[in-house]
């Protein structure tokens, strides 16, 4: 008989194409399989397929959401950052951006990236293998599904890659 695991309930808003965003709860494991600490929303969303149990706030109904159909998940400002992305996540670069989604919505905020020393562009970061990326906004942190993005516009030009320890211009 499977053992019941108490999970951490995290209040979020979820956006899917053609529908208004819905408030509710996602559940995280108390211990991450990849990092020290609890599972994060970013880890929960990353697999390419499968369904997520989502408890809708309005009526306590439990919906099984298809991961590929999720445009973004927003964790409000009250959600502990350790539950959004791994605590070991180290910001090495930030870019202010507008993110245009396929459904016409536009989000503006800050992409905070963890990149190796020889890579420092937002395009390199967005071309990475992860399916979702965090976008920090005034409303909270959005975890944006890359497949839902039409384009990303930079507020400023990205710098040239670093070479031999010097700053690119």
- Cα within 13 Å of Cα(145), Cβ side: 22
pLDDT (0 to 100) of residue 168: 40
Nearest to 76 by CA among 14, 149, 5, 167: 14
Dump pLDDT digits (tens) for 125-137: 898 889 999 999 9
Confirm if 36 and 68 have CB atoms less than 8 A apart: no
Say how far apart CA 160 and CA 106 lie, in whole Å. Answer: 27
DSSP string, 36-47: SSS--HHHHH-S
pLDDT (0 to 100) of residue 54: 97
Say how far apart CA 54 and CA 63 lie, in whole Å. Answer: 5
In the predicted model, residues of the chain with pLDDT beneath 70 are 1, 4, 116-120, 157-169
Domain-by-domain residue ranges, the chain? 8-154
**Radius of gyration, alpha carbons of the chain:** 17
In the DSSP assignment, the letter for residue 147 is G
Report the DSSP beta bridge partners of residue 162.
Answer: none
């Amino acid at each position: 008989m499977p053992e019941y695991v108490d999970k951490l309930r995290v209040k979020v808003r979820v956006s899917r194409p053609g529908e208004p965003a819905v408030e509710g709860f996602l559940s995280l494991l108390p211990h991450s399989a990849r990092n020290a600490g609890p599972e994060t929303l970013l880890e929960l969303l990353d697999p390419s397929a499968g369904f997520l149990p989502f408890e809708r706030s309005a009526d306590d109904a439990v919906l099984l959401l298809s991961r590929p159909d999720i445009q973004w998940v927003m964790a409000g400002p009250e959600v502990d950052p350790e539950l959004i992305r791994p605590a070991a996540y180290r910001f090495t670069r930030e870019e202010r951006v507008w993110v245009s989604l396929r459904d016409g919505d536009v989000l503006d905020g800050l992409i905070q990236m963890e990149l190796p020393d020889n890579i420092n562009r937002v395009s390199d970061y967005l071309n990475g293998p992860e399916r979702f990326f965090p976008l920090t906004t005034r409303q909270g942190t959005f975890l944006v599904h890359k497949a839902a993005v039409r384009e990303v516009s930079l507020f400023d030009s990205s710098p040239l890659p670093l070479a031999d320890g010097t700053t690119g211009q």
